[in-house]
Amino acid sequence: MSQVIQTIDVDVPVTTAYNQWTQFESFPHFLSFVESIAQIDDTHNHWVVKVGGVEREFDAEITEQHPDERVAWKSTGGDVTQAGVVTFHKLSDSTSRVTVQLDWEPEGLVEKAGAALGIDDASVKGDLKNFKKFIEEQGSEQGAWRGDVSN
């Protein structure tokens, strides 16, 4: 199992960063490996990703979600085994910190080599920079889901 932990500070209030992160279908705008995400219901979605040049599909379940604090998930079936959590921290009224922890199982030679070389770390770091640019340029979230999920 490979683990990635990356953090970025964004110049938007924590509520804005959190609300945007709950809009899973917008992820292809800032996550380079995501082709599409379809929201099935409040706690389930279907992902199509491209990792190491290979397209994979999987379902994910939101296992924990607390407004302005965290969103945690795990894959529940398909081509990818992963789990993760994104946490949101208020630094000031207009700045917040976003931290991503992703645990995933590299499949095949290309993914295993990429994980060993830290390409997954670099990818998540780059995607957080993309999120920062996306949310700061927008200035506000495209929507929000403020439900609470506890497991």
Domain coordinates of the chain in residue numbers? 2-138
pLDDT bin (cut points 50, 70, 90) of residue 22 is very high
Question: Residue 60's beta-bridge partner residues?
Answer: 45, 75
C-alpha closest to that of 35 among 23, 43, 27: 27
Model confidence, pTM? 0.91
Helix (H, G, I), strand (E, B) or coil at 16: helix
Return d(Cα 13, Cα 1) in angstroms, integer.
33
Q: Is the pLDDT of residue 108 over 90?
A: no
Name the band, by pLDDT with cuts 50, 70 and 90, for residue 68: very high
Mean pLDDT on 62-73: 97
Q: How confident is the model at residue 104 (pLDDT cuts 50, 70, 90)?
A: confident
**What are the contacts of 30-33 at 24+ separation with CB within 8 A?**
30/127, 30/130, 30/131, 30/133, 30/134, 31/127, 31/130, 31/131, 32/123, 32/126, 32/127, 32/130, 33/123, 33/127
Q: State the pLDDT at residue 53.
A: 80
Question: What is the Cα–Cα distance from 63 to 19, expressed in whole angstroms?
Answer: 17
- Look at domain 2-138 and name its CATH class: alpha beta
**% of the chain beyond a pLDDT of 70:** 99
